[in-house]
Structure 1
Amino acid sequence: MDSEELKTIARKYYSDHPCIRPCGINTRKTCEYTFTLEYYYTLSKACYDCPFNVSDCSRPHCVPADGSPRPILTANRMLPGPGIHVCLNDTIVVNIINNLLGGEGVSIHWHGIHVPPHMDGVSMLTQCPIPEYSSFQYRFLAVTPGTHYWHSHAGMQNAHGLFGPLIIREPPEKDEHLGRYDVDQPEFTVLINDWFIDMMPGQLSSLLHRTGGVLSDSMLINGKGAYHKYMRDNTTVYTPYEVFNVQLGRRYRFRVITNSLNTCPILFSIDNHNLTVIASDGSPLEPYTVDSIVLYSGERYDIIVHTNQDVKSYWMRTSGMLLCGTLKAFQLAVVKYKGAPDEEPGGNKEWNVDTHGIQLDPLNTKTTEGFVDISQLNSTLPNDESLKEVPDRTIYLGYDFNIIDNFRSHDKELYSVHEVDAPFRRFTQQINHISTVFPPSPAQTQYSDIPTGLFCNEESMKANCTREFCQCVHVIKIGLGEVVEIFLVDEGATFNTNHPFHLHGNYFRVIALDKLNTSTTIEEVKALDAKGMIHRKLDKAPLKDSVMIHDGGFTVLRLHAKNPGFWFFHCHFQTHTEMGMGLTLQVGTPSQQPKVPKKFPKCGPWKYEGYEEEGQETKDCPTNKESRVMLSFVVQFIMFCTIMLLY
Structure 2
Amino acid sequence: MTTTIKRRGVLRAGALGLSGLALPYPAWAQTGSPGLRPTSPPLSGEDIRLRIAHGMFDVGGRTGHAIMLNGVLPAPLIRLREGQNVRLHVENALDEDSSIHWHGLILPFHMDGVPGISFPGIKPRSTFTYEFPVKQAGTYWYHSHSGLQEQMGHYGPIVIDPAGAEPAPYDREHVIVLSDWTFRHPHEVIAKLKARGGYFNRNRQTATSGSMSAADRAMWGRMRMDPSDIADVTASTYTYLVNGHGPAENWTGLFTPGERVRLRIINASAMTIFNLRIPDLPMTVVQADGMDVKPVETDELQISVAETYDVIVAPADRAYTLVAESIDRSGLTRATLAPRLGMTAPVPALRERPTLGMKDMGMGGPGSGHAQHGGTAAGGMDGMDHCTAEHAAMGHCAPGASMKMDHSMRDKSLVPPSVKVGVGVDMIAPMPVDRTGDRPLGLEQVPHRVLTYHQLAPLVPFPDKRPPARSIDIHLTGNMEKFMWSFDGKKMNEGAEPIRLALDERVRINLINNSMMNHPIHIHGHFFELVTGQAHGHPIKHTVNVMPGGKASFDLTADAPGDWAFHCHLLYHMHAGMMNVVKIRPLADGGAQ
TM-score of the two chains, using structure 1 as the length reference:
0.64
Alignment match, 1:182: 171
Asked if residue 223 in structure 1 is aligned to residue 244 in structure 2, the reply is yes
Asked if residue 86 in structure 1 is aligned to residue 73 in structure 2, the reply is no
Mapping 1:109-124, distance limit 5 Å: 109-124=101-116
SS in 2 for 1:287: strand
Aligned-pair CA distance for 1:335:
0.6
Distance 2:89 2:474 in 1: 37
Distance 1:205 1:383 in 2: 43
Cα distance per residue 1:446-499 (max 9 Å; x no partner): xxxxxxxxxxxxxxxxxxxxxxxxx2154111010111001001013xxx3210
Distance 1:294 1:17 in 2: 28
The AA in structure 2 aligned to 1:570 is H
Cα distance per residue 1:108-156 (max 9 Å; x no partner): 0000101110010011111112111111111111112100000000110
Structure (1/2) with the larger helix percentage: 1
Distance 1:392 1:67 in 2: 56
Distance 1:552 1:574 in 2: 20
Aligned-pair CA distance for 1:363:
2.2
Alignment match, 2:531: 511
Alignment match, 1:498: 518
Distance 2:177 2:338 in 1: 18
Alignment match, 2:67: 73
Distance 1:360 1:274 in 2: 21
The one of 318, 321, 329 aligned to 2:324 = 318
Asked if residue 430 in structure 1 is aligned to residue 427 in structure 2, the reply is no
Higher Rg: 1
Alignment match, 1:295: 303
Asked if residue 277 in structure 1 is aligned to residue 285 in structure 2, the reply is yes
Is the contact made by 1:258 and 1:299 (CA closer than 8 Å) also made in structure 2?
Answer: yes
Distance 1:426 1:480, change over 3 A: same
SS in 2 for 1:433: coil
Alignment match, 2:177: 191
Is the contact made by 1:375 and 1:511 (CA closer than 8 Å) also made in structure 2?
Answer: no
Cα distance per residue 1:612-638 (max 9 Å; x no partner): xxxxxxxxxxxxxxxxxxxxxxxxxxx
Is the contact made by 1:402 and 1:433 (CA closer than 8 Å) also made in structure 2?
Answer: no
Alignment match, 1:481: 504
Is the contact made by 1:365 and 1:550 (CA closer than 8 Å) also made in structure 2?
Answer: no
Distance 1:81 1:250 in 2: 28
Distance 1:17 1:320, change over 3 A: closer
Asked if residue 332 in structure 1 is aligned to residue 345 in structure 2, the reply is no
The AA in structure 2 aligned to 1:316 is L
Count of matched residue positions in the alignment of Structure 1 and Structure 2: 444
SS in 2 for 1:219: strand
Distance 1:176 1:124, change over 3 A: same
Distance 2:513 2:171 in 1: 41
SS in 2 for 1:158: helix
Asked if residue 134 in structure 1 is aligned to residue 126 in structure 2, the reply is yes
Mapping 1:435-584, distance limit 5 Å: 435-437=491-493, 471-492=494-515, 496-512=516-532, 536-537=533-534, 540-584=537-581
Percent identity, aligned pairs only, is 24
Alignment match, 2:346: 346
Could you tell which deviates more after superposition, 124-133 or 151-160?
A: 124-133
The AA in structure 2 aligned to 1:38 is A
Asked if residue 391 in structure 1 is aligned to residue 468 in structure 2, the reply is yes
SS in 2 for 1:70: strand
Distance 1:155 1:8 in 2: 28
Aligned-pair CA distance for 1:271:
2.2
Distance 1:35 1:132, change over 3 A: same
Cα distance per residue 1:223-265 (max 9 Å; x no partner): 1124xxxxxxxxxxx5x22110011111111110011211x22
SS in 2 for 1:159: helix
Aligned-pair CA distance for 1:204:
1.0
The AA in structure 2 aligned to 1:225 is G
Is the contact made by 1:265 and 1:363 (CA closer than 8 Å) also made in structure 2?
Answer: no
The AA in structure 2 aligned to 1:587 is I
Aligned-pair CA distance for 1:208:
2.3
Distance 1:391 1:539 in 2: 19
Is the contact made by 1:375 and 1:510 (CA closer than 8 Å) also made in structure 2?
Answer: no
Is the contact made by 1:312 and 1:336 (CA closer than 8 Å) also made in structure 2?
Answer: yes
TM-score of the two chains, using structure 2 as the length reference:
0.69
Is the contact made by 1:38 and 1:75 (CA closer than 8 Å) also made in structure 2?
Answer: yes
Q: List structure 1 segments (4+ residues) > 4 angstroms apart after TM superposition.
A: 5-11, 349-355, 364-372, 589-592
Alignment match, 2:3: none
Is the contact made by 2:51 and 2:91 (CA closer than 8 Å) also made in structure 1?
Answer: yes
Gaps of 5+ in 1: 20-29, 43-63, 227-237, 404-424, 438-470, 513-535, 593-647
The AA in structure 1 aligned to 2:570 is F
Distance 1:490 1:366 in 2: 20
SS in 1 for 2:556: strand
Cα distance per residue 1:396-438 (max 9 Å; x no partner): 00112148xxxxxxxxxxxxxxxxxxxxx5142111111112x
Distance 2:549 2:239 in 1: 28
Mapping 1:603-618, distance limit 5 Å: none
